[in-house]
Amino acid sequence: MATLGFLINPIAGMGGRVGLKGTDGSEILKRAKELGAEEVAQRRAQEAMRLLFEKKVDVKWFTCSKNMGEDVLRKAGYKSANDYQVVYDTPEITSAEDTKKACEKFKEMKAELILFCGGDGTAKDISNVVGKDIPIIGIPSGVKMFSAVFGVNPKSAAEVVLGFLKNEYSLAESEIMDIDEEDYRNGKLHAKLFGYALTPYEMNLVQTCKSVFEGADDEGAKDEIASYVLEIMEDEKETIFILGAGSTVEIIGKELGIDKTLLGVDVVKNKKLIAKDVNEEKLLEILEKEQKVSIIVGVIGAQGFVFGRGNQQISPKVLRKVRIENIKIVATPHKMSQTPKLRVDTSDEELDRMLSGYHKVITGYHEMRMIKVETNK
């Protein structure tokens, strides 16, 4: 019988849909709750754990009590002492220290793999304790997730665990990235390499590390993309344009002469900014009053994510109010040459299937490529 560790960061991802770009720190968590943020990690973790339970794998889980692991295991179907063992008691209010202490227990119990649910900060905390002694794989539930230790989505993470148990996947050194969330909230993206972890690797199931593409060719292409998008806006003056995060979309904002947030979501109509750095609630409020809507969204370099990483404000509820043909994806030719496929992970399986298939990607002035969007569901 294999012995695996399992833990959840209960607050991971809560800041996404309310536009806070993370939940690090007690004040930000308090603010997220005031804005109506809901816990998402439990649901994401349960997607993965339910699949593992259905496969009836011969595993004993070491986990934490209550909402750091045990609750999800029981909901997935694990009941007896033969199924799991609580090795860490979860306090009422959790922090990074609880993640670290739980992983110390996993090391003591000689866990063969740690499955966790969280974001980059959670991955960094785990790596800080286990290093390369224990392989890890993450169920993505943070706001950004630039590290290369996460499954493409919860079910992909579960598939990685299944492959690991069957010795189907080799272990790869995977980058652990993290950022300063306060800088991130202020529109400054400084992703740093924290270290490396061992991860069971299968290219279709595990995301790569985010890459940043810079240079004269990329900047020129961004200008061309912006010029073309402005022509579209000129032809569609009554359309609301939801502008996603990222440097390519930021250039569109500069061409419009508006103060576009680099890492937030903004709304434009008739080439004028009507709402800045909005959350899901504000977007839904705007969409109640508007009939014609388009979304302009960039691509996370190398990872290929269009929705589900860093733009959770554009939630399933928002996306369902926009016709798929009115979603405009923008990316430079260089970025697309280094990004083998596009992905979506909206937390809504039916919607992900609707978004899959071939989409036009605007790569320059009146230049487009047809790229397939995949879900791995």
Residue 90 belongs to a domain? yes
CA-wise closest residue to 377 among 340, 343, 341: 343
Do 280 and 338 share a structural domain? Answer: yes
206 domain residue, yes or no: no
3-state DSSP of 216-275? HHHHHHHHHHHHHHHHHHHHCCCCEEEECCCHHHHHHHHHHCCCCCCCCCEEEECCEEEE
Q: Which residues pair with 341 in a beta bridge?
A: none
- Residue 288: Cβ within 10 Å count: 8
**Same domain flag for 223 and 368:** yes
Task: Report the side by side order of strands in the sheet with 113-118.
Answer: 84-88, 59-64, 2-8, 113-118, 136-140
Please state, in angstroms and rounded to a whole number, the distance separating the CA atoms of residues 265 and 105. 40
Q: Rounded to an integer, what distance in angstroms lies between the CA atom of residue 20 and that of residue 247?
A: 19
Q: pTM of the entire structure?
A: 0.85
Domain final position from 144, 168, 200? 200
Q: Which two tokens stand for residue 233?
A: 């806006």
Same domain, residue pair 32 and 116: yes
Same domain, 341 and 257: yes
Which pLDDT does position 374 carry in this prediction?
A: 87
The answer on 135 and 23 residing in a single domain is yes
Is 232 found in the same domain as 358?
yes
Asked if residue 59 is part of any domain, the answer here is yes
State whether 272 and 353 are in the same domain: yes
Cα distance between residue 44 and residue 21, in whole Å: 18
Same domain, yes or no, for 131 and 266? no
Q: Which residues fall within 8 angstroms of residue 45, CB to CB, at 6 or more apart?
A: 8, 72, 117, 139, 141, 154
- Residues facing 233 on adjacent strands: none
State the Cα–Cα distance between residues 369 and 377, nearest whole angstrom.
Answer: 24
Rounded distance between C-alpha atoms, residue 159 and residue 65, angstroms: 24
- Name the DSSP class of 7: E
Token pair of 28, please? 């930000």
Instruction: Note down pLDDT in tens along the chain; length 377 residues.
Output: 899 999 999 988 776 676 665 556 566 666 656 666 577 899 999 999 999 999 988 899 999 999 999 999 999 999 888 899 999 999 998 999 999 999 999 999 999 999 999 999 999 999 999 999 999 999 999 877 889 999 999 999 999 999 999 999 999 999 998 766 566 555 555 668 889 999 999 988 999 887 655 555 678 999 999 999 999 999 999 999 999 998 899 999 999 999 999 889 999 999 999 999 999 999 999 999 998 999 999 999 888 999 999 899 999 999 999 999 999 999 999 999 888 889 999 999 999 999 999 999 999 999 999 999 987 65
Residue 61 lies in a domain: yes
Q: Please, what sign has the CA dihedral across residues 67, 22, 102, 97?
A: negative
Split into its structural domains, the chain has a count of 2
What pLDDT, on the 0 to 100 scale, is given for residue 18? Answer: 65
Contact 12, 141 (CB under 8 A): yes
- Residue 36's region, left for phi above 0, alpha for psi from -120 to 50, else beta, is left
Q: What is the CATH number of the domain that holds 136?
A: 3.40.50.10330
Examine residue 62 and state whether it is found in any structural domain, yes or no. yes
Phi, psi values for residue 238, rounded to 5°: -90, 5
For 345, counting Cβ atoms within 10 Å of its Cβ (0-12 exposed, 13-18 middle, 19+ buried), the class is buried
* First vs last C-alpha separation in the chain: 28
DSSP state of 67: G
Do 226 and 254 lie in one domain? The reply is yes
CB atoms within 10 A of CB 274: 15
Domain boundary, last residue among 169, 200, 231 = 200
**For residue 1, what pLDDT is reported?**
87
Query: Same domain for 195 and 47?
Result: yes
Asked if 164 and 240 sit in the same domain, the reply is no
The verdict on residue 209 lying in a domain is no
Asked if residues 120 and 22 have their Cβ atoms less than 8 Å apart, the reply is no
Considering the domain boundaries, does residue 205 fall inside one? no
**End residue of a domain, out of 175, 200, 225:** 200
Three-state SS for 333?
helix
Residue 268 located in a structural domain = yes
Q: Which structural domain, as residue segments, surrounds residue 361?
A: 216-374
Say yes or no: 190 and 259 in one domain: no
